[in-house]
């Protein structure tokens, strides 16, 4: 479904120093895979997701989605294949527009029709139904501007928008990290419900090792631009958070001490 081959991405920082963010990454994702990705700060997790989404070009390698080589396609040409949710609940929705206007744009986005021109009664009924699944009472607030929603409500709406047109691939980059623990758990559950219920293929970056093992069917650990661990069942099913910490320690060596706070 997604095939990433020998992917390499090098950034130049302000001092003109080269930083290898992705170092010959190979990844083969099957339809319906729900993959969690862990790794310390700077490991290359977001770069991998950005490269797949086409935010920037890569220096080497190939990305194929559903058999199509998208490596040299600009971001907007592959946007209809991909749904994304970021850490910041403010990204992904338009604050001054209403809930239904935001949803209407998300529905029309794959067809590249530009701005939505009003919402039909039928669409509104569908939006109500979908919003009711979130269990946040948003189905009764269709005309309210999104800017009035809480961070958690907004992230739930973003998730709905990212998946409303059934993307081939859903990319979640620490999408619960900015929320309080209870809300993060709710959004986590919602994510599970949507990904499994709609049989989506998803990559989810998280710093929560418990969530990394509980969600999905496969876990990748990244370090210094490489995938250093690829856990699948039955091995994955037996893994505990402590086992994962041990793996981290053996991969990171002394650098692990810097990571501890992050992985708490």
Give the footprint of Mg ion on this chain (CB under 5 A).
Answer: 45-46
The size of the interface with ligand ATP (CB under 6 A), counted in residues, is: 12
In whole angstroms, give the CA distance from residue 225 to residue 82: 22
44 binds, among Mg ion, ligand ATP, none (CB under 5 to 8 A by kind): ligand ATP
One of 2, 21, 99, 244 touching ligand ATP (CB under 6 A): 21
Considering the rule CB under 6 A, would residue 43 count as an interface residue with ligand ATP?
yes
Nearest distance, CB of residue 163 and Mg ion, angstroms? 21
Considering the rule CB under 6 A, would residue 13 count as an interface residue with ligand ATP?
yes
| Element spanning 237, H or E | helix 235-238
In whole angstroms, give the CA distance from residue 240 to residue 259: 18
Nearest distance, CB of residue 22 and ligand ATP, angstroms? 8
43 binds, among ligand ATP, Mg ion, none (CB under 5 to 8 A by kind): ligand ATP
Q: 71 CB contacts (<8 Å, ≥6 apart)?
A: 58, 61, 62, 63, 64
* DSSP letter for each residue of 57-85: --SEEEEEETTEE-TTS-HHHHGGGEEEE
In whole angstroms, give the CA distance from residue 234 to residue 239: 9
CA angle (31 as vertex; 29, 32 as ends), nearest 5: 105
Considering the rule CB under 6 A, would residue 140 count as an interface residue with ligand ATP?
no
Question: Is 102 or 206 the residue whose CB approaches ligand ATP more closely?
Answer: 206
Question: Is 20 or 241 the residue whose CB approaches ligand ATP more closely?
Answer: 20
Question: Is 50 or 153 the residue whose CB approaches ligand ATP more closely?
Answer: 50
96 binds, among ligand ATP, Mg ion, none (CB under 5 to 8 A by kind): none
11 binds, among Mg ion, ligand ATP, none (CB under 5 to 8 A by kind): ligand ATP
Give me the helix-helix angle, 151-163 and 121-134, nearest 10°: 120
Considering the rule CB under 6 A, would residue 44 count as an interface residue with ligand ATP?
yes
Considering the rule CB under 6 A, would residue 112 count as an interface residue with ligand ATP?
no
Residue span binding ligand ATP (CB under 6 A) among the ranges 27-35, 43-51, 151-159, 164-172: 43-51
Nearest distance, CB of residue 234 and ligand ATP, angstroms? 28
Nearest distance, CB of residue 141 and Mg ion, angstroms? 32
Strands 68-69 and 169-173, by their bridges, are unpaired
Q: What is the 3-state secondary structure (H, E, C) of 156-190?
A: HHHHHHHHCCCCCEEEEECCCCCCCHHHHHHHHHH
Please tell me what DSSP assigns to residue 253: G
């Amino acid at each position: 479904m997604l095939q990433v081959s020998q992917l390499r991405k090098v950034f130049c920082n302000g001092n003109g120093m080269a930083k290898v963010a992705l170092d010959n990454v190979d990844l083969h994702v099957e339809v319906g895979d729900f993959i969690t990705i862990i790794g310390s700060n700077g490991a290359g997790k977001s770069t991998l997701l950005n490269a797949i989404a086409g935010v920037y070009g890569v220096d080497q390698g190939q990305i194929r989605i559903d058999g199509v080589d998208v490596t040299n396609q600009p971001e907007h040409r592959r946007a209809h294949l991909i749904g994304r949710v970021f850490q910041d609940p403010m990204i992904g929705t338009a604050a001054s527009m209403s809930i239904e206007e935001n949803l209407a744009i998300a529905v029309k986005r794959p067809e590249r029709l530009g701005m939505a021109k009003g919402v039909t009664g039928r669409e509104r009924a569908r939006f109500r139904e979908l919003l009711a699944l979130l269990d946040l009472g948003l189905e009764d607030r269709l005309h309210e501007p999104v800017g009035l929603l809480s961070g958690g409500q907004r992230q739930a709406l973003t998730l709905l928008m990212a998946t409303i047109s059934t993307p081939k691939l859903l990319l979640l980059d620490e999408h619960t990290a900015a929320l309080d623990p209870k809300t993060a758990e709710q959004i986590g559950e919602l994510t599970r419900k949507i990904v499994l219920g709609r049989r989506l293929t998803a990559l989810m970056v998280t710093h929560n090792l418990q969530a990394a093992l509980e969600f999905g069917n496969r876990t990748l650990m990244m370090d210094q631009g490489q995938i250093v661990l690829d856990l699948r069942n039955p091995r994955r099913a037996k893994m505990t958070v402590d086992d994962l910490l041990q793996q981290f320690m053996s991969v990171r060596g002394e650098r692990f001490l810097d990571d501890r706070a992050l992985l708490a």
